[in-house]
Copies of this chain bind each other. A is one copy, B any other.
Amino acid sequence: MAKKLILRVVKIGGNIIDDTRRLDAFLADLAALQGAKILVHGGGKLATRLAEKLGVPQTLIEGRRVTDAETLRIVTMVYGGLVNKQIVAKLYALGCPSIGVCGADGDLLRAHRRQHANIDYGWVGDIDAVNAPLLDRWLGQGLTPVVAPLSHDGAGQLLNTNADTIAQEIAQAMSPAFHVELIYSFEKSGVLLDVNDENSRIASLRPGQYQELKASGVITAGMIPKLDSAFSALKKGVRRVIIGQAEHLAQLVDGTAGTSIVW
């Protein structure tokens, strides 16, 4: 069997999108990255600011945004339009051909509206299917897909969908065809032994060690969902998950920065 090609699925968070200088530097690093890649972006603060300007109140339940009809229009404009298209235009300037899409385009991300016993999150989608052959075709044409965090239900409804989850689902769906590395960029330099000390980064983390650190309370609540989803991705065929700062993309990839989550 031929050796699988490497595919990197990179998720960038909202905090970097809000900062043009940092975003431009990140995109330059992404464009310089050799090989196949897919970018999944958020856009949180821009959407919040637009909602404020338009007088659309935002409700958060347990840290999650409730997406009413007006908020869905806002995130469709900001994520699917402004952020997505600006990134694509910038990537072309950096010599990186790309295509900006949301989950409705080409039926990329099919989802259903979240059902929750007690909480109505509004127009929020949980993903049922990723159109992996479509991504494969774009990659084969030398295009880097740039994915906005929106899905659709196939019945005409767009749905707001968490960007971390989209990156994870895409990484899993592409694993039969590629050696997939899933890179989560966030504010911290990686998984830290001491949350207040950026130098206490753990270079790599395996399941047994994760259970120990969780049991001893070293890994705290904020990191647990991210790490649970990282290990879950590994179980579903993703080869490596890397968590670290967007400013060090090349180093995250070559293993000299961030925390590598391995099986």
Chain B residues within 8 Å of A93, by CB = 154-156
Chain B residues within 8 Å of A73, by CB = 82
Q: A84 vs B102: C-alpha distance in the bound complex, in angstroms?
A: 10
Report whether B53 and A89 are in contact in the complex, using a CB–CB cutoff of 8 Å: no
Chain B residues within 8 Å of A76, by CB = 81-82, 85-86
User: What sequence of 0s and 1s flags, for each residue 63-99 of chain A, a beta carbon within 8 Å of any chain B beta carbon?
Assistant: 0000000000100111111101110111011100111
A-side interface mostly: helix
Report whether B104 and A92 are in contact in the complex, using a CB–CB cutoff of 8 Å: yes
Report whether A80 and B90 are in contact in the complex, using a CB–CB cutoff of 8 Å: no
Q: A78 vs B77: C-alpha distance in the bound complex, in angstroms?
A: 6
Chain B residues within 8 Å of A150, by CB = 85
The one of B100, B106, B141 in contact with A104, judged by C-beta atoms closer than 8 angstroms, is B100
Report whether B107 and A97 are in contact in the complex, using a CB–CB cutoff of 8 Å: yes
**Is A157 an interface residue, CB under 8 A from the partner?**
yes
**Is A228 an interface residue, CB under 8 A from the partner?**
no
Residue in B closest to A110 when the chains form the complex, CB atoms: B92
How far apart are A77's CB and chain B's nearest CB, in angstroms? 4
**Is A116 an interface residue, CB under 8 A from the partner?**
no
Report whether B77 and A84 are in contact in the complex, using a CB–CB cutoff of 8 Å: no
**Is A119 an interface residue, CB under 8 A from the partner?**
no
* Contacts known (A99-B106, A105-B100); A77 close to B88, Cβ less than 8 A: no
Report whether B89 and A156 are in contact in the complex, using a CB–CB cutoff of 8 Å: yes
How far apart are A256's CB and chain B's nearest CB, in angstroms? 29
Report whether B156 and A92 are in contact in the complex, using a CB–CB cutoff of 8 Å: yes
Residue in B closest to A92 when the chains form the complex, CB atoms: B154
Q: Give me 15 A-to-B residue pairs in the complex whose CB atoms sit less than 8 angstroms apart, sorted by A's number.
A: A53-B53, A54-B54, A73-B82, A76-B81, A77-B77, A79-B81, A80-B80, A81-B84, A88-B104, A89-B104, A89-B157, A92-B154, A92-B156, A98-B105, A99-B106
Point out residues on A near B: beta carbons under 8 Å.
53-54, 73, 76-82, 84-86, 88-90, 92-94, 97-102, 104-107, 137, 141, 143, 150, 152, 154-158
